[in-house]
A and B are shown apart, each in its own frame.
Chain A
Amino acid sequence: MGPNLLNNYGQVIAMLMFVIGFANLLFHKNMIKKIIGFNIMDSSIYLFLAQMGYIKSHIVPIATDGAASVDQYINPIPTGLVLTGIVVSVSVTALMLSLCVRLYRRYNTLDLDEITTMLRKEGR
């Protein structure tokens, strides 16, 4: 273990969230719950990126008084990356949910195991 585990408590929380989402993906058979786990993983990534850009006692990069100095503002790049991540996550979630709706209409269940069993029974 390295020296900074307690200093980086925010990132530890982000990792905890990531693992919770990943466990959701692995343990649940219901696909809606899998999608929820996926979204928890996404949120943990945003938290991690926001933590990476944060610098203590620096403010948001909005230059209201016209001053431009690195010693004053936090890092703006992770903020932009979080924006990209949010947009992609919204699109992917909508896509996954619509596919779920189609699967439910076809098989009348959201359980992944039951769907695989039905597929095998049909001989595909």
Chain B
Amino acid sequence: MKNSDRIREWLLGDESLYYDTMAVKSQSINDEQAAVEEELIKGSLDQKEKTFDTKHNREIRTVSVLYNILAAVFVIFIFVNLLMCVSYLPPLEESQKAVNNEVSQRYIEKGLKECGSTNIVAGMILDYRAFDTFGESNVLFIATVTVLILMRNNRKKEDGAVSDPDDRRLEPKDDIILQKAATFLVPVIVMFGIYVIMNGHLSPGGGFSGGAVIGAGLILYANAFGFHKTERFFTEKTYKWISFTALTFYCLAKSYSFFTGANHLESHIPLGKAGAILSAGLILPLNICVGLVVACTMYTFYCMFRKGDF
């Protein structure tokens, strides 16, 4: 076959140009080179092991000793500095301290009249500084959402193969002592939490502490009777709706109050008689909102860390 024919055929795509004219050999690394390469890889691995061998590395040990000494010096330096600061602060029991300025004076003198709550601290954090507390509730909510993202195990429940992520099987199930104790304790704990929330504007307490108490009661209940009992009334949907409703109500109520000038003359929310349960305007509903958010947050944290699901 002539060369011109071959080229034409190659152009037409029928045949390779070099077919049958060139010897096609399989490439083989020659053995010597392979050995060298293997040694190189092994050497680099050895080097890596040597570099990251933290137990027998003298440099790392020196650095860590140096680090400990420097850290100790730094800690002592900070302690001495803080002690110097404290020693120049005004004495503890003095009433003429710089922190006792006209702000706290106004809160104390006008708090009862303007907020209607006997607990001046509750009046301060839920009336004068209500948006600060709103931010705190949102911080709790965002923390819960992040923990949900990080800890949720998203395994789908395939048919039949139920892999239980719960660690309940490692613990005594249906412990009779715990169950009997919880039967008496849980209603009392939850009732005490509700009492603390409802009396937030009259006595020490409020939404945050009462919510934490209710959350503790829920955790005790879940521990004693297992999660299949709490699943009946507390699931992800419950958490979602309670948090959403409470935060939205808080935002709208306080926005209305601030929109009308933040004084209780124009917002038409009666202050009531100081000392009664139904008094102090918006403070009681806001306390309930905060308490719901905190209780749900506590219980959700526990569920997430325990088994990654509600």
Contacts and interface: CB of A to CB of B under 8 A. Distances in A.
A36 interface: no
Contacts of A52: 97, 99
B129 A98 contact: no
B98 to A, nearest CB: 10
B71 A63 contact: no
Nearest to B294: A87
Contacts of B15: none
A124 interface: no
Interface stretch (B23-31, B85-93, B183-191, B245-253): B85-93
Contacts, number: 173
Contacts of A110: none
A113 B108 CA distance: 52
Contacts of A61: 108, 111, 119-121
Contact of B99 (A63, A66, A75, A95): A75
A70 B68 contact: no
B82 A18 contact: yes
Given A27-B71, A80-B121, A15 B108 contact: no
Interface in A59-78: 60-64, 66, 68-71, 73, 75-78
B175 interface: no
5 contacts: A1-B83, A4-B90, A11-B89, A69-B108, A101-B150
Interface of B: 48, 52, 54, 68, 71-72, 74-75, 78-79, 82-84, 86-95, 97, 99-100, 103-105, 107-113, 118-121, 124-125, 129, 132, 136, 139-140, 142-144, 146-147, 150-151, 202-204, 208, 274-275, 301, 304-305
